[in-house]
Amino acid sequence: MSVKDRKNVLSGLKVREAMRRIAVHLPESASVDEATRCAIKFKVSAILITGREYQALGVVSKTDLMCAYYAGLPLETPVSTIMRSPPLFCGMDDSLDAALDTMRSKGVHRLYVRGDDPDQAIGILAYPDIVGLLYRYCHKCEHNTLRTRKVPSIFNFSDTFKVRDVMNPSLLVFREEDILSSVMEGLSAHRIGAVLIRGRNNLPSGVVSKTDLIMAYRHGIPPTAEAATIMSSPVRSCDHNEQLVSAIQKMIFSDVHRFFVYRDNPDNIVGVLTLTDAARVRSGSCRACVSSRIRL
């Protein structure tokens, strides 16, 4: 692969190359309970709400479901009460550059893909989809350090991105005895998907994510319950010096969206790496295609 090819390997890509077909949608008459069930069953972060002619009316995300939980809305509440409208769209032949610019400027994690009918969505584009595309490029690249064959001598290992280069060093921490409503306030204020939970010994003991919270909502656990009641354990983590491509591979194949990042030992958590963070480094896992990175 020539230097020119490497620099442009990710340029000119279209939305159609990274988008997914929509796994689930609900009518506007559906209940919040149905939305929570679908989010959990299909492992999706948002659900498209459609009208009688399957036109896209709005979106209900895990954040919206968490807010419904916080507000004490009954599970029988219609999703139309909490949905955000209208959905944000992009076209299949739009560039990924343009789509990512829209996601960044609008502060959203996904766009719906418009088909021939401008009111209907035929697909969805989210940060994890872009990570998957980047990973496929990195996996095939001659500089992929996960390959067993010898890496070309012209390649400098210092050019490889480490987790520490991409992770978010900002960390929101709660204690096991903190109540769920406080956790929800923190998640909402910081616009993040999960928080680290520490035990009484001040060591990491678990994680509370929006998924954990909407499961608690569906099972009738009150927002006054302690974080320890619903936290997931153990903490999924990786070393801050781990190669980015290795961490991405683990997240993709483990079907997880984040690793908490430690330095020296797993008890010393110093940041968090999400698939969103990884997607924002459009150059993939090394600087071979650094010129096509997206600035966020």
Separation between Cα atoms, residue 208 and residue 232, nearest integer Å? 6
Nearest to 197 by CA among 214, 176, 223, 212: 176
Q: What is the CATH number of the domain that holds 221?
A: 3.10.580.10
Nearest to 269 by CA among 236, 247, 242: 236
DSSP state of 14: B
For residue 118, say if its preceding peptide bond is cis, omega within 30 degrees of 0: no
The arithmetic mean of pLDDT across residues 18-37, rounded, is 94
3-state SS, residue 63 = helix
**% of the chain residues with pLDDT over 70:** 83
Tell me: do 79 and 167 sit in the same domain.
no
Q: What is the pLDDT of residues 80-107, one digit of tens each?
A: 999 999 999 999 999 988 898 899 899 8
Between 288 and 3, the more confident residue is: 288
Decide if 137 is inside a domain.
Answer: no
Decide if 293 is inside a domain.
Answer: no
Phi/psi region, residue 9 (left: phi>0; alpha: psi -120 to 50; beta: rest), is alpha
Separation between Cα atoms, residue 137 and residue 9, nearest integer Å? 8
Decide if 150 is inside a domain.
Answer: no
CB 74 within 8 A of CB 68: no
3-state SS, residue 189 = helix
Decide if 5 is inside a domain.
Answer: no
Asked whether the predicted pLDDT for residue 210 surpasses 80, the reply is yes
Residue 286 pLDDT:
56
Tell me: do 181 and 90 sit in the same domain.
no
Separation between Cα atoms, residue 62 and residue 214, nearest integer Å? 7
Residue 30 pLDDT:
98
Decide if 70 is inside a domain.
Answer: yes
CA dihedral 140, 271, 71, 55 (to 10 degrees): -20
Decide if 132 is inside a domain.
Answer: no
Decide if 144 is inside a domain.
Answer: no
Element (H, E) at 212: helix 210-218
Task: Give the residue from 100, 126, 152 where a domain finishes.
Answer: 126
Count: domains in the chain: 2
Residue 159 pLDDT:
60
Task: Give the residue from 126, 153, 171 where a domain finishes.
Answer: 126
3-state SS, residue 143 = coil
Between 43 and 291, the more confident residue is: 43
Task: Give the residue from 126, 146, 171 where a domain finishes.
Answer: 126
Q: What is the pLDDT of residues 106-136, one digit of tens each?
A: 989 999 999 888 889 999 999 888 888 877 7
DSSP state of 264: S
Tell me: do 170 and 109 sit in the same domain.
no
33: confidence class by pLDDT, cuts 50, 70, 90: very high
Decide if 151 is inside a domain.
Answer: no
Range of the domain at 70: 15-126
Residue 167 pLDDT:
94
Tell me: do 263 and 174 sit in the same domain.
yes
| Predicted TM-score (pTM) of this structure | 0.84
β-bridge mates for residue 272, sequence order: 168, 260
Tell me: do 185 and 270 sit in the same domain.
yes
Cα–Cα distances in angstroms (integers) from residue 291 to residues 17, 49, 141, 153, 250, in the given order: 20, 39, 16, 22, 26
